[in-house]
Structure 1
Amino acid sequence: MSSLPPTENANEEIVGGTAKQMRFRNKNEMNWRVIRESIPYGAATTVAALGLSAVAQKRWPFYQRLTLPIKVSVILGSTIIGFFTASDIVAMKIDREFAQQFSVVRESEVETDASQGQINFTTAEGWKNAFVRFRYSAVAGLWATSMAVALGYNFRRTDITHAQKVINARMTAQLLALAGVMGVAGVSAMVDIKPMVKIDPYYERIVAGGSKPATS
């Protein structure tokens, strides 16, 4: 006897295995769960945007000169960004939970090689590993830091407009970030980058048809 929940149409036939049938029958419930769990994040970003808007209205002349429709658009844009970012995260979490019902591998059984989590900065090999792991984060940090410093410097100037200050800061940050990307690309061409090794105890059983690995 099937344990699957009934469909809205009892005579409806679904082609596919158990997983496909369950997903089809539970799709509305899963979609509503995504919406329910994403609404608080959208509300939180709206409240934050309203608070920042109130502060900017009192302290930032540039924001004070903006028209009401533009300010409303900025706040609504924050709501949309918060809601849809959260919905993507929640949807991926629900997909993982659903897939785990039919998976022979559990997330706790797939581990990262512990030796790759340790970086020894006293050796050249350690610095190479640090570069490989943090190269993209370093470029992003370089852009953010240079943008903040350039904004701080340009907003102390009184001989240019606000728009010119933002443009100058953005161009400076872009130039330094581009230099960082070129540096990363150059070093990456000379460094042997090895991917992180995953230890999957079920790999041989699934791919090669071997038996389940013995547990200690």
Structure 2
Amino acid sequence: MKILTQEEEEVKGGLKGGAVGLCVSLGLSFVAQRYSQFYRNLTLPLKAFLVTSGATAACIISAERAGLNYERQKYGYYKPVIHHDPGRSALTVAKDFVSENRYSVVCGSWALAMVGSIAYTSRNKYLTVSQKVVQARMMAQALTIALILATAGLSMGDKRERKIPAGSYQWKEMVAAEERKMNKVSVK
């Protein structure tokens, strides 16, 4: 059995993700072609762009995840112990979730903004299809920029609130974990 390098693992993951993304994008394209008059009115290059964008995004995301999994398997994965305080407010929980998953939140909100803005602009019968697409893209872009600025503000606020630098006690947790491992091995 050959051990793959990180680059080979990323290529393998990227190819898998690209194939899945292409299948999903093509499937959605066929469904939209059948049921959406708006989609049928789009030009062929724009439809091809939408299909390849989905496949490309899935390829990149899958390759990145494969690379991270490779690193975690090779070097281990350290996840600090999170102490859940039942007295935390919903706002604090939401801020923590957004700061930990900021890229997923921004990408998901962009996709929702595109769908919502396309639905909103498609009701205007005085705009052409290309004008509707441009208007939808601009609305989604404005919302995404506002969301990026909000997440940046949240992350800056998180850094100001901390009295102790992040990770200052990580070495103690890591040493304690290694000592527990060594004690288990020496006891046996």
Aligned pair count reads: 173
Partner of 2:72: 96
1:15-164 alignment, distance < 5 Å: 29-30=4-5, 32-61=8-37, 63-64=39-40, 71=47, 74-99=50-75, 107=77, 110-115=78-83, 117-118=84-85, 120=87, 122=89, 127-128=91-92, 130-134=94-98, 136=102, 140=106, 143-164=110-131
Q: Secondary structure at the match of 2:127?
A: coil
Q: Classify 1:119/1:189 alpha carbon distance in 2 versus 1 (closer, same or farther; 3 Å).
A: farther
Larger radius of gyration: 1
1:166 deviates by 2.5
Q: Classify 1:138/1:128 alpha carbon distance in 2 versus 1 (closer, same or farther; 3 Å).
A: farther
1:159 deviates by 0.9
Match of 1:165 among 125, 132, 135: 132
1:158 deviates by 0.5
Matched to 2:22, the amino acid is T
More helix by share: 2
Which segment drifts farther, 172-181 or 88-97? 172-181
Matched to 1:48, the amino acid is V
Matched to 1:157, the amino acid is N
Higher relative contact order (CA 8 A, sep 6+): 2
Q: Distance in 1 between matches of 2:87 and 2:72?
A: 35
Q: Classify 1:177/1:165 alpha carbon distance in 2 versus 1 (closer, same or farther; 3 Å).
A: same
Percent identical: 23
Measured against aligned partners, the alpha-carbon deviations of 1:100-159 in whole angstroms (never above 9, x if no partner) come to xxxxxx54xx443432x446455xxx6356435425479736655544333222111101
* Root mean square deviation of aligned Cα: 4.2
Match of 1:174 among 132, 141, 146: 141
Q: Classify 1:203/1:187 alpha carbon distance in 2 versus 1 (closer, same or farther; 3 Å).
A: closer
Unmatched runs of 5 consecutive residues or more in structure 1? 1-25, 100-105, 206-211
What TM-score results when the alignment is normalised by the length of structure 2?
Answer: 0.60
Matched to 1:171, the amino acid is M
Matched to 1:163, the amino acid is S
1:45 and 1:79 in contact (8 A); partners too: yes
Q: Classify 1:138/1:127 alpha carbon distance in 2 versus 1 (closer, same or farther; 3 Å).
A: farther
1:139 and 1:181 in contact (8 A); partners too: no
1:186 deviates by 5.8
Matched to 1:98, the amino acid is K
Unmatched runs of 5 consecutive residues or more in structure 2? none
